[in-house]
Amino acid sequence: MPPFLVFRVDAMPSPPTLGPGDERSAPGAERVCIKVCGLRSLDMIDVALEAGADRIGLVLVSSSPRAVDFTTAGRLAEHVASAGREAWAVAAWSVSDGPRVEGLDAFIAATPQIAAVQLHGRETPEDIADFATRCPEARIVKAVGVASRTDLNGLARYAGVDAFLLDARPPAGADREGGFGRPFDWSILNGFRPEQPLVLSGGLTPLNVAQAIAETGLTQVDVSSGVEQSPGVKDARRIRDFISAARAAVRR
């Protein structure tokens, strides 16, 4: 399995390099790596890329207001890759009774421009193992809903995961995972040092991303609803403001 790296045009600075248990380092030692998720058009993707986004998330979960189909996702991923940035597929995969994007494995196999697969459902370690067997070349990012320290305790069971994306746990009765614009208590992460890199998500906006980076010390962030006018409708100014604020953030 290839290493969890970020590829981009030579003109951009190097991305954060995180070793085992080393999600934090001295202030200013690393640049922030930014993913803008839930983009559905070439025009808005270009806004994000021109503003300096490192990663673009393409949502394949049909219940999401940000969803695109496989054909559109493949076209957008090719565009992102041609710009030297990463396209992530956001999906769900369950071998039992959880949500599952049918045909995901075939799509990933046929779309080499997808740099990572973010599994954002209720995947068990067994589900992750099944997907890794079906797509052995895919880098897997497991999204985890966080509301308390207890939610982090089982992450070591996810063998084969290349990174974890930490999102707020969905509200009771939600019909999907993620994208509700709610942050979690960042102090939950104090002293948490998994072997895999961490991507901070959940309720980030242009107004709080700098604080989030300072309080958690994490150098990889993800935004979706925090740069939208309404669910699924991205706002160009907010995207630019978010990326500018994240780049200017000083970690503690």
Q: Is the pLDDT of residue 54 over 50?
A: yes
Q: Is the pLDDT of residue 2 over 60?
A: no
Residues in the chain: 252
Query: Can you tell me the mean pLDDT for 170-199?
Result: 81
Please tell me whether the overall predicted TM-score, pTM, comes out greater than 0.85 for this model: yes
Catalytic option among 54, 105, 162, 167: 167
Q: Report the alpha-carbon distance of residue 184 to residue 112 in Å, rounded.
A: 34
Q: Is the pLDDT of residue 199 over 50?
A: yes
Whether 37 is catalytic? yes
| pLDDT for the residue numbered 50 | 98
Q: Is the model more confident about 210 or about 16?
A: 210
Q: Is the model more confident about 158 or about 24?
A: 158
Between 14-23, 61-70, 234-243, the lowest mean confidence (pLDDT) is in: 14-23
Q: What residues contact 169, with CB distance under 8 A and at least 6 apart?
A: 145, 146, 147, 151, 184
| pLDDT for the residue numbered 250 | 61
Domain boundaries in the chain? 33-148+157-168+179-248
Q: Report the alpha-carbon distance of residue 25 to residue 11 in Å, rounded.
A: 24
Q: Report the alpha-carbon distance of residue 48 to residue 78 in Å, rounded.
A: 15
Q: What pLDDT, in 10s, does the model give residues 79-138?
A: 999 999 999 999 999 877 677 899 999 999 999 999 999 999 889 999 999 999 999 999
For residue 87, what are the β-bridge partners?
Answer: 56, 114
From 236, 154, 146, select the one nearest 182 (Cα to Cα): 146
Whether 185 is catalytic? no
Q: What residues contact 184, with CB distance under 8 A and at least 6 apart?
A: 146, 147, 166, 167, 168, 169, 202, 203
Q: What does DSSP say about strands 33-37 and 114-119: parallel, antiparallel, or unpaired? A: unpaired
| pLDDT for the residue numbered 78 | 98
From 115, 118, 138, 98, select the one nearest 201 (Cα to Cα): 118
CATH of domain 33-148+157-168+179-248: 3.20.20.70
Q: Is the model more confident about 159 or about 12?
A: 159
Mean pLDDT of the chain: 86
What backbone torsions phi and psi does residue 28 show, to the nearest 5 degrees? 85, 0
| pLDDT for the residue numbered 23 | 40
Percent of the chain with pLDDT over 90: 73
Catalytic option among 37, 54, 105, 222: 37
Percent of the chain with pLDDT over 70: 82
Residue 7: pLDDT band by 50, 70, 90 thresholds? very low
